[in-house]
């Protein structure tokens, strides 16, 4: 199988290569794609080196699948060109997520929405992916009315520049800034740009993407997304109101039996999910599961996942695995 990774030299692109290797995806030929300034550089994959090419060259090489992680502008320009050449695109940017003609997919949640005809498939936002993986089985059992989520998001979600800013500040070095403010020893309650309604783009992504992936516009979602000085993954405090009554023990059992979810929840031993424990893992971790004592049929929980893996690279590779399993690539 010929696999193109568009944005192969970036933070998420590098993680894609790592995940493709670890999950033993059947790559016979890798086509690393990047901007013109990176063309000719070499990328190592499974012990071999592959030369970076531009997007036009990649199309002429006719890969079976192209996994994009190169930003919305690149995806808008090039994904349709790959698709027109018969190449299936899995896109990690926000470019196609809310396009009504494109599927927005978390394989464990709505993989069955994909058809053979889908040539551009959108990978959801990292903070949405980890949340819907937990919400889906609970929605099926109790029917979710409303979700209130506050996120605590890793600097890796911004990219290499943000990681460098954090480490520079930690060492007292003045350098290029990814954020308008210091991030070390600080918390920034803004991810992406502000919209007219006072919410950020990231917050509205969580609202709109959740409804699309879950296939239910009746679910009310409100979000506050926050950048914190960590690198292991994203954390979320999630308050979920159901239409139907639940038992905490039953709810916990449902999550324990959900593929891709690991429950870490033992307050007596101070056990709960933390970003450092989710780092470099594909699962979504859930803990601090407890009844909201201020209103009925409502539960609080804490959800953590590695945003570069399940929140980006792993989910994209899982979509490719699903397509491969159907012989659609």
> How far apart (Å, rounded) are the C-alpha atoms in residues 38 and 143?
49
| 145: Cα separation from own chain's centroid | 24
> How far apart (Å, rounded) are the C-alpha atoms in residues 61 and 31?
8
Helix H or strand E encompassing 44: strand 42-45
Helices (runs of H) and strands (runs of E) counted in the chain:
10, 14
> How far apart (Å, rounded) are the C-alpha atoms in residues 213 and 4?
26
Active site residue ranges: 126, 234
> How far apart (Å, rounded) are the C-alpha atoms in residues 118 and 216?
21
> How far apart (Å, rounded) are the C-alpha atoms in residues 203 and 235?
14
Closest C-alpha to 116, from 325, 315, 316: 325
267, burial (CB in 10 Å: exposed 0-12, middle 13-18, buried 19+): exposed
Buried b (16+ CB within 10 A) or exposed e, 246-260: beeeebbebbeebeb
Angle, CA 308 vertex, CA 306 and CA 313 arms, to 5° = 120
> How far apart (Å, rounded) are the C-alpha atoms in residues 165 and 201?
22
For tokens 């030929």, what's the residue? 29
Contact 99, 91 (CB under 8 A): no
Contact 200, 193 (CB under 8 A): yes
């Amino acid at each position: 199988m010929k696999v193109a990774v568009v944005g192969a030299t970036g933070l998420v692109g590098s993680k894609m290569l790592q995940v493709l290797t670890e999950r033993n995806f059947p790559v016979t030929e890798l086509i690393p794609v990047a901007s013109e300034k990176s063309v000719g550089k070499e990328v190592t994959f499974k012990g071999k080196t592959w030369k970076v090419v531009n997007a036009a060259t990649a199309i002429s090489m006719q890969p079976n699948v192209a996994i994009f992680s190169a930003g919305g502008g690149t995806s808008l320009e090039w994904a349709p060109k790959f698709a027109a050449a018969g190449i299936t695109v899995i896109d990690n940017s926000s470019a196609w997520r809310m396009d009504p003609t494109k599927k927005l997919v978390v394989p464990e949640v709505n993989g069955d929405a994909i058809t053979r005809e889908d040539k551009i498939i959108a990978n959801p936002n990292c903070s949405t992916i980890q949340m819907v993986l937990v919400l889906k089985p609970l929605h099926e059992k109790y029917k979710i009315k409303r979700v209130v989520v506050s996120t605590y998001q890793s600097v890796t979600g911004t990219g290499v520049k943000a990681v460098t800013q954090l480490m520079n500040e930690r060492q007292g070095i003045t350098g290029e800034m990814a954020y308008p403010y210091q991030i070390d020893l600080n918390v920034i309650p803004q991810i992406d740009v502000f919209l007219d309604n006072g919410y950020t783009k990231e917050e509205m992504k969580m609202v709109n993407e959740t409804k699309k992936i879950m296939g239910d516009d009746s679910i009310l979602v409100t979000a506050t997304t926050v950048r914190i000085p960590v690198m292991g993954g994203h954390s979320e405090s999630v308050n979920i109101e159901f239409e139907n009554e639940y038992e905490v023990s039953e709810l916990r059992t449902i999550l324990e039996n959900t593929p891709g979810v690991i429950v870490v929840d033992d307050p007596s031993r101070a056990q709960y999910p933390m970003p450092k424990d989710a780092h470099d893992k594909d699962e979504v971790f859930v803990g601090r599961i407890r009844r909201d004592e201020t209103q009925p049929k409502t539960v609080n929980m804490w959800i953590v996942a590695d945003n570069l893996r399940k929140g980006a690279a792993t989910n994209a590779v899982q979509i490719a695995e699903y397509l491969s399993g159907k012989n659609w690539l």
